[in-house]
Structure 1
């Protein structure tokens, strides 16, 4: 019986949801050896796990401890109904014990690898400010972190306002198509703004949004680079369009995420609510909630009908969610957030890794996950060396 199956049975037992057949299956596994029984009973008799299941227990915690006992090597999946539990437990583990189990490699002693925490001078802290810049139509730049609250600029009859919580809002109307650009660089916190029609946009770092100060005419169009999450204000008379190169997302009113980083192999549009139409020169794809359109460099659109929405939205929720990702994709996210250079020494691992960690942690805590999986790192100021 696989660790995944054992994990599922143990958790269902703690929830009181085991069927009779599953009870027999779990009992049969326990009877195979005294070792199996000891492992299972450690969880089944743990009152703390029973009382705080939703906050403390997850598939990851059970599986990680099973791997520690058995020495088996697994990559822990975090999809479907388990993902919320994994996120909660991962945060608990990080804040409590300071250890996050991603994947164990079998060692001679079958014990977890001990990782020495890097010295402070070799660590990199997460972003502590919003370093985004608004470029006005006349070329003037407004640095948001140093701008005071209230009206920062007036263009036509539109005020550009910085609210008390740091959000940006455009208030007013204009008959002219005057454009601004919001640029959020590497190493900056997520920035949010409200467009003149009431549409809300959250912009990840190393991303930009080009938009009119007010929407005139029969459509609302913006251009994005990098990653942005949209909550579009409904207006049946004016479709909302998001462009990136030849790709266009068309909506009336909905919630969706666009991931269009230049260093990624696909542009990804993920729908959370409503409906959107993704199209380019070659094809058109209609999305339903929970689905993702993936546009490759050749202009082909593929549909993922069961997208991992929590993984997609982790950046907005203050998390890294690495759900079965290759090392290069993980390091892309890390380099943007911490504004570091990443270089590789030796052969680049082809394995996929999974794990969840707060984006408010220092970079050493994030790297620690992959160190436990056998990947080695050196932190050299703002340079991360990945060694196999």
Structure 2
């Protein structure tokens, strides 16, 4: 007679189940603990990976949902799943959560093979008003003094302390590809700067608080009704009315996205102007000057700040641009341009994985890649 573990393993490995099997399986999954599910899921993945096959869709879906329910906090955002890409999203999600140690163990390359490319960390360069540059590292703790200005670095964040500072003096905080950083501005506004971005700001604010952004940043504005806050992005301006919001304005993206989380912002470009409400996103086409407004998926927009790659309904070219900025790599496409453009994803994966393990997840979507030095080549897409 089979043990519960043996029966569970047999039932999860097939989609051919009777009504009695389904009833037993549902009861078992509802009453067992997450540790046992994790152990079994790792064992199943090990077998299927050895056979170069993903687990069946129903298997990954059922296991992932029950593991998530037992290990995530009650207020954690629910993962959205597209019917079209459900099996791949579920497989990628369970692989990332339960089989990550297994992947790193099974597919560890010899020392002579490709160097492991790690995810981004806290690193940036601060350019002071006199033109001097200070390199900021992940673990740095220091006080940068220049005149009456004191800038404190606590690991991945800067904080300004100033007295009677020249209001015409500016600093520039720049993150490279593969780097992120935070800064608390002189007025108390907190900014999260994504990879390959820059923020120019005065070392003290006067009547009009204005900063200039290139790339992507999330802002939590310190309220001050008498002194409005503005974010300049190319020839677009975001007028802030005490709020938190995200601006994505990379040069390699076709549109500038402004997403409002709370409060209110006004997006202005020449004679065009639109007022956003919480949960809305404006999209500016710099080529035409047109501004459109639509409902935003805030969880998806802020996934980068929360340590995730949000892949729900994301196309492959957009994901590759994210990978290039996050891992500081170059992208080359040798696959069919039509297939690359049509490929979309579902689910969500952590940004703390090394690049080689992300490539394993791409394989689940039938995307074959080759990594040479710091160039990722997309070989084929099915």
Per the TM superposition, whether the score is higher than 0.5 is yes
Give the deviation of 1:65 after TM superposition. 6.8
Counterpart of 2:359 in 1: which secondary structure?
helix
Alignment partner, residue 359 of structure 1: 351
Deviation at 1:153, TM superposition (A): 2.4
Residues 119, 290 of structure 1: alpha-carbon distance in 2 compared, 3 angstrom cutoff: same
Deviations 1:17-74 (A, max 9, x none): xxxxxxxxxxxxxxxx98584785465333347876xx99xxxxxxx9763679xxxx
Cα distance in 1 for partners of 2:263, 2:22 equals 44
Which of 80, 86, 92 is the equivalent residue of 2:79? 86
Q: Report the counterpart of residue 134 of structure 1 in structure 2.
A: 126
Task: Tell me if 1:253 matches 2:249.
Answer: no
Partner of 2:66: none
Matched, 1:47 2:47: no
1:22 aligns to what? none
- Residue ranges of structure 2 left out of the alignment (5+ in a row): 1-14, 39-53, 61-74, 81-89
Deviations along 1:182-205, one digit per CA (max 9) or x if unpaired, are 0000012x2001100000001011
CA–CA separation in structure 1 for the residues paired with 2:242 and 2:272: 22
Q: Equivalents in 2 of 1:69, 1:158: separation in Å?
A: 59
TM-score (norm: length of structure 1):
0.73
Cα distance in 1 for partners of 2:101, 2:77 equals 19
Match in the other structure for 1:347: 336
Aligned length: 316
TM-score by length of 2: 0.74
Deviates more, 1:366-375 or 1:224-233: 366-375
Q: Which runs of 5+ in 1 are unaligned?
A: 1-32, 57-63, 71-81, 101-115
Which secondary structure state, in structure 2, belongs to the residue aligned with residue 268 of structure 1? strand
User: Of residues 227, 232, 246 in structure 2, which corresponds to 1:238?
Assistant: 227
Summarize deviations over 1:168-219 as a string: whole Å, max 9, x none.
Answer: 011124352211100000012x200110000000101100001000112x21
Alignment partners' CA distance in 1, 2:213 and 2:294 = 22
Alpha-carbon offset, residue 375 of structure 1: 1.0
Instruction: Quote how far apart the aligned CAs of 1:129 are.
Output: 4.2
The reply to whether residue 152 of structure 1 matches residue 148 of structure 2 is no
DSSP 3-state at the match of 2:347? strand
Instruction: Determine if the alignment matches structure 1 residue 288 to structure 2 residue 280.
Output: no
- Equivalents in 2 of 1:118, 1:253: separation in Å? 49
Tell me how far apart the structure 2 counterparts of residues 135 and 318 of structure 1 sit (CA, whole Å).
27
Q: Distance in 2 between matches of 1:140 and 1:129?
A: 23
User: Which residue of 167, 170, 174 corresponds with 2:160?
Assistant: 170
Q: Distance in 1 between matches of 2:261 and 2:25?
A: 36
3-state secondary structure, aligned to 1:223: strand
Cα deviation 1:99-150 (Å, max 9, x = unaligned): 99xxxxxxxxxxxxxxx84626325332464330001111100001299533
Two-structure CA RMSD over aligned residues (Å): 3.2
